[in-house]
Chain A
Amino acid sequence: MMHNTAMPAQAEEHPRAVELKDMAVGESGSVVRICAVGELGRRIRDMGIIPGSRLCVTGRAPLNDPLTIRLRGYTLSLRGSEAAYILVEPD
């Protein structure tokens, strides 16, 4: 609802791709697409999340949101509403 500048997700190309927010703790995969543009898109990329990046969901906050992921040797936390813009193909 906040970042309404998203581009349409390309689910057809990656039939197995899911939104990062729907991945279970412990699941890992490769990023296939970032659907956010503007500030959110840039922040996500600045943190090293680009198509092809490997990541692993490592935890969720006590109230289930935000979630933490591990990539490039470090840990990142982001809200579910933001993780919804990241499409990942789980292993």
Chain B
Amino acid sequence: MPENFISIALAGNPNCGKSTIFNAITGAHQHVGNYPGITVEKKEGFAASDGQSVKVIDLPGTYSLTAYSLEERVARRVLLNERPNVVIDIADAGTLDRHLYLAVQLMEMGIPFVLGLNMMDEARQKGISINLELLSKRLGIPVVPTVGRTGEGVRELLAVACRTAREHAGHPWRPRRLSYGPDLDVALVEMVSLIEKQSFLTALFPARWIALKYLEADSEIIRIGRGADEKTSSALENMVQEVTGHLSQTLETYPEAVISDYRYGYISALLRDGVVSSPENARNRMAFSEKIDKVLTQRLIGPIVMLAVMYLMYKVTFSVGEIPMGWIQAFFGWLAEFVDGIMPDGLVKSLVVSGVIEGVGGLFGFVPLIVVVFLFIAVLDDSGYMARIAYMLDRIFHFFGLHGCSVMPFIISGGIAGGCAVPGIMATRTLRSSKERLATILTAPFFSCGAKLPVFLLISAVFFPERGPLVMFLLTLAGWLVALLIARLLRSTVISGAGTPFVMELPPYRLPTLKGVLIHTWERTFAYIKKAGTVVLAITIVIWAAMTYPRLPAAESAKYASDEEMQMAALRHSIAGRIGVALENVTQYAGFDWRGNIALIGGFGAKEVIVSTLGTAYSLSGNEEENNENLIQRIREDQHWRDNTPAAISFLLFVLLYSPCFMAVVVIAKEAGSWRWGLFSVIFNTLVAFAASVVIYQVGRLL
């Protein structure tokens, strides 16, 4: 071995139980990151097998190893560039033939690998029996049966993989020579000899594999080839063109299709004569999931159940999540008071109490909600129901240029009032198609997230005291409407172009394991805390500073009779205040005054800040909760707001739609892969919000 540990890559189709096996191998010794520049998760973990340390890389789940989808490119790059010592290919024993399609492509690459035959419990239950010895002999590689849920066979799989790695150490990869029919076989031989003669990319990839990729018209490899050796590449491309022309004339097909037909042919040959035997009634047994689907995706019952599930999720999230949320808020409230008591009055105290403690407290207050939301998502995902939701709603979402899988991100972002766009945007990772994914990311912030709710509650309490729930409902609806319409707009302008085909497996319903669900939840929650902890802290300090500096000269402040008036003057004097006043020139058309402007600027940091800033702007000091009643009273009596219902509606709409909070912008930039998209969402959403507010305000005033 080159290093003192063996590196193992885990490959397999989505839903084959790969994460479960990964967790069983590595336990808690794992690390989740991202592949550089893109958002495919990179999971690595460490383990030991008979005293030998191993590093395990979890590849994205793929059906194939082509250059079409991001996941496949990533998986392939890891295999080819990082050259793990051995690959463990996990296959679902119940659908072995389809899973072997990936295995055959590993053979073509020549990388040493072993097959983990997972879901053996299900296969046994269905009465499927697999002749493991014969399968292993035909494949020419070790085959180990496993049950990921119980950990059965996992240790042995790891040991066998290590043994295979040792056996192959120091040997070059040996691609398996499959036959692809007379035409392609001849072409392949010619191409391989040219590749070997010119040493074309041979330092990077096996020769036969390169030839195969040229025949498959693999855009990535051809691009690399052209960059390395223009002449040889075009000679190869000519050879491919020749055989392509020949195939299309004689058989009306093309190389890529022929190659895959022969791969499946090879698989059928591998599985011939009783490698897999399933009893007559296996068909009926398999139909268990189908039976559930007959109900859960039924024309009428399906949508009703789906709505019920979503509603339940929402209810539970808030009734369960609110309890620890209350504790955390109480703790930070106590902490703020405590610090308030022990520190001398002054700037430092103001920074610590209103900047740091409130900022971080606001952030941690959301953690319980996020944990519950992620728990639900993990359960829905692992059980297979998430795929059904996408399936049922794809028709509608497709119309708006989105994908069935956009549903979950929207719901988490606040499609049911009270979500959060940050985890919502992170949940778009399940979307495999980049255009729909970007459109989903950019429209997720339009929903009624939990941080906007206090503002909605406050303004409704002032203007529509009896109709709070109705206002909330209408705003939630408005969020959906705007998100879908904007998605449609974006998909026909800045992110136009054909979407990715919706060819999606509906995995069988399975009972998720507690461990799997907890690990998924923890990974996502931790990512949130990490990012939020740094960013929100920084931004609250900046906003605190903007609302504090420059300070009112002492001579000035002496003029004010009351503390409250002095505070208000100080706010007006600060940078934030000046910006707020300057912005009145524009925002008057939407009906906002300078204090509203300051609150909205603060809201860019975190939407929670809007209410507390309004509190400050309306000269209230101290704990905002105690003074909520006061604030409602003050706004109601304020000369700007009094009887100004159009301004209230305009303000509500603006808060719903304008720039995502700073955290969300950071996540957008990260998930969309470029800061430009973060900036775009700030400017674009604010323009959308402003346009909507101006229209509402102006029309409202006419009426």
Give the complex CA separation of A7 and B505 in angstroms.
26
List the A side residues contacting B264 at CB < 8 Å.
48, 50
List the B side residues contacting A72 at CB < 8 Å.
95, 97-98
Q: Are A42 and B503 in contact (CB under 8 A)?
A: no
Least distance between A16 CB and chain B CB atoms (Å): 19
Is B63 in the interface zone, CB < 8 Å from A? yes
Q: Are A59 and B503 in contact (CB under 8 A)?
A: no
List the B side residues contacting A79 at CB < 8 Å.
394, 398, 501-502
Give the complex CA separation of A43 and B252 in angstroms.
20
Give the interface residue-count category, chain B: 35 or more
Q: Are A50 and B260 in contact (CB under 8 A)?
A: yes
List the B side residues contacting A44 at CB < 8 Å.
503
Is B391 in the interface zone, CB < 8 Å from A? yes
Q: Are A68 and B63 in contact (CB under 8 A)?
A: no
Q: Specify which of A39, A59, A63 is in contact with B68 (CB 8 Å cutoff).
A: A39
Within 8 A of B (CB), among A52-69: 58-59, 61-66, 68
Number of interface residues, chain A, beta carbon within 8 A: 37
The winner among A37, A46, A51, A76 for most chain B CB atoms within 10 A is A46
| Given A59-B294, A75-B289, A43 contacting B503 (CB threshold 8 A) | yes
The winner among A34, A42, A51 for most chain B CB atoms within 10 A is A42
The interface stretch among B173-181, B295-303, B415-423, B511-519 is B295-303
Q: Are B394 and A66 in contact (CB under 8 A)?
A: yes
Look across to chain B and name the residue whose beta carbon is closest to the beta carbon of A41.
B257
Q: Are A77 and B98 in contact (CB under 8 A)?
A: no
Give the complex CA separation of A77 and B256 in angstroms.
23
Q: Are A66 and B502 in contact (CB under 8 A)?
A: yes
List the B side residues contacting A64 at CB < 8 Å.
395
Question: Interface residues, chain B, CB within 8 Å of chain A?
Answer: 63-64, 66, 68, 94-95, 97-98, 101, 252, 254, 256-257, 260-261, 264, 286, 289-290, 293-294, 297-300, 302-303, 387, 391-392, 394-396, 398, 404, 498-508
Question: Interface residues, chain A, CB within 8 Å of chain B?
Answer: 2-3, 7, 10, 34, 37, 39-48, 50-51, 58-59, 61-66, 68, 70, 72-79, 82
10 contacts between A and B (CB under 8 A): A37-B254, A39-B500, A41-B256, A43-B68, A46-B101, A50-B264, A61-B394, A68-B506, A78-B504, A79-B398
Q: A48-B264, A74-B98, A79-B394 are in contact. List 11 more A-B contacts (CB 8 A).
A: A42-B256, A43-B68, A46-B64, A50-B261, A51-B261, A75-B289, A75-B506, A75-B508, A78-B502, A82-B501, A82-B502
